[in-house]
Amino acid sequence: MGAPLTATLAWLTLALQLALGLLCAWHALLTKREPRAALAWIGISLLLPLGGPLLYFVFGVNRIRTRGRRLGRRFPLPLEFDYEQPDDADLAEPASAGPPDSPIGRASARISRRPCLPGNALERLHNGEQAYPAMIEAIRSAERYVYLSTYIFGARGAAREIIDALCAARRRGVAVCVLIDGLGQWYTLPRAAPALRRGGVQVALFLPLRLWPPSLHVNLRNHRKILVVDGEVAFTGGMNIADYHVLGDGRGYRVADLQLRLTGPVVSQIESVFAEDWHFATGQALPEPKPPSPGAGSAACRVITDGPNEDLDRLALILLAAVSAAQRRICIMTPYFLPGRELIGALQAAALRGVAVSVLLPGKNNLPYMHWATRNLLWELLQHGVEVRYQPPPFVHTKCLLVDDDYAQVGSANLDPRSLRLNFELNVEVFDADFNAALAAHFTAAWNASRPVTLAEISGRRLAERTRDALCWLFSPYL
């Protein structure tokens, strides 16, 4: 009896492996948009018994819906055989272009499906020294509600002060909702969620990793940074909540970053994004944002959301539109720079037609493999006239884009595949000459303090360095 049973189990295991491999390969064939990605996942699914399908479920299924229905409600491991693209229902009549009647404004209106709202006031807040006190002051002034979303939330130093302010707001009767990414919460210890819950704050985790019910979406992370208070003031940008954003005396690991404080009609757009994410994570519907507040300033603003859901590729398309429309200058500051072929081509074309294209990167990255992968592609930009410089320490996490004299973007998105394809991101688009000039002055000061990267430097790398950099670049879609 033993031998026949063993043989039967072996055949069943082989059949299961083959069925799962074929299912995942079929799914990759029908849903992936890039031949290289489809071919790679087909090979992995078929050639690695059981391990291949598992890797595909964890890392390869990069399409979810946040509107209309939640992930995982119908099947524990959903495989929907639709393309990685926005739903047809989302291709409604675009929003009006809004006040800035420009090529970028018109393209962004059609792509983002949001109107550009005039009458906003923006304040730039650099590092934790400026951003955290302003955020705490806003939380302490809250009368009705506080909504906060972040990727990383520490529980020491300055982050602890924000926790205390949130708990104090809850004790005085303010509704406080905090959304933390389910993977990002583990980047710092101790975690903030237990302390917040002890203080009565309602905390939700975005796609937390768990074995049952299965939630293994390692790649699909909420990278947005949002704070909204009473619908009157909002904060967003690239800054997490952690003590390393307070530069202080510069000792230890420190991260420089930029946050925006916004008042005016655009606050309602930011609040709507939080409400959608909260509903996805909890199933709870928050009250509708109140109508946009009267104009508080001169800037016209629009929120751009991007993610592996109905918003897929919106930010990438808007970036291409902005770069293609540039007439005088393009300034990019980002910590992680692994642009796709389309954006590389657009930057090359802009430089060739006489636009001053400047890319400012960290000289020492907190993720060395990102730095190495980037060095493998810089020659393509440098040889066509794009200027690149490396910033000195501390590590600069700021993400901003400037085009000509009246267009800017600031937000959470990096220029890499993870931000542009896998993460849920939020940028604010600003049409305002005064804001642009102030941000340009900040960029110029950082540029002047940085060292140039030359084509001779990149071409002169040793063979071992070039091999290392090329290997990291090879895996850039997954970094």
Least Cα distance to 142 among 169, 177, 178 occurs for 169
Regarding beta strands 117-126 and 258-263, do their DSSP bridges make them parallel or antiparallel, or are they unpaired?
Answer: antiparallel
Give the Cα separation of 409 and 436 in Å (integer).
9
What integer pLDDT is reported at residue 75 of this predicted model?
37
Q: What is the mean pLDDT of residues 72-84?
A: 47
What integer pLDDT is reported at residue 13 of this predicted model?
73
Enter the tokens of residue 255.
Answer: 């991260």
CB atoms within 10 A of CB 105: 24
Give the Cα separation of 428 and 411 in Å (integer).
6
Question: Hey, what domains does the chain have and what are their CATH numbers?
Answer: 21-54 (no CATH), 119-301 (3.30.870.10), 314-478 (3.30.870.10)
Q: Which contacts of 11-17 are long-range, i.e. CB under 8 A and separated by 24 or more positions?
A: 16/50, 17/49, 17/50
Percentage of residues in the chain having pLDDT higher than 90: 69
Q: What is the mean pLDDT of residues 168-193?
A: 96
Q: Got the DSSP string for 160-179? A: HHHHHHHHHHHHTT-EEEEE
- b/e burial code for range 402-438 (CB count within 10 A of at least 16 → b): bbbebbbbbbbbbbbbbbbbbbbbbbbbbbbeebbee
In this model, does residue 279 exceed pLDDT 90?
yes
Query: Which residues have C-beta within 8 Å of that of residue 280, sequence separation ≥ 6?
Result: 66, 70, 71, 206
Scanning 376-462, the segments in alpha helix (DSSP H) are: 378-382, 417, 433-448, 455-459
Enter the tokens of residue 129.
Answer: 């020294």
Q: What is the mean pLDDT of residues 417-425?
A: 91
Judge contact between 164 and 253, C-beta under 8 A.
no
Least Cα distance to 433 among 126, 131, 122, 110 occurs for 122
Query: Which residues have C-beta within 8 Å of that of residue 383, sequence separation ≥ 6?
Result: 455
Q: Read off the pTM.
A: 0.86
Least Cα distance to 175 among 293, 315, 271 occurs for 271
Question: pLDDT tens across 209-256, in order?
Answer: 877 666 667 788 999 999 999 999 999 999 999 999 999 866 789 999
What integer pLDDT is reported at residue 475 of this predicted model?
81
DSSP helix, strand, coil percent of the chain (3-state; round to 5): 45, 20, 35
What integer pLDDT is reported at residue 171 of this predicted model?
97
Q: What is the mean pLDDT of residues 47-55?
A: 77
Question: pLDDT tens across 363-409, in order?
Answer: 999 999 999 999 999 999 999 999 999 999 999 999 999 999 999 99
Helices H, strands E: what count in the chain? 16, 17
**What mean pLDDT value characterizes the chain?**
88
Q: What is the mean pLDDT of residues 284-294?
A: 85
Residue, of 264 and 29, whose pLDDT is higher: 264
Give the Cα separation of 103 and 324 in Å (integer).
9
Judge contact between 392 and 450, C-beta under 8 A.
yes
What integer pLDDT is reported at residue 73 of this predicted model?
38
- 92 burial level (CB within 10 Å; 0-12, 13-18, 19+): exposed
Percentage of residues in the chain having pLDDT higher than 70: 88
Q: In this structure, what are the phi and psi dihedrals at residue 129, rounded to the nearest 5 degrees?
A: -60, -35
Residue, of 354 and 21, whose pLDDT is higher: 354
What integer pLDDT is reported at residue 214 of this predicted model?
64
Which range, of 252-266, 300-314, 396-410, averages the lowest pLDDT?
Answer: 300-314
Q: What is the mean pLDDT of residues 123-143?
A: 97
What integer pLDDT is reported at residue 132 of this predicted model?
98
Amino acid in the structure at residue 456: A
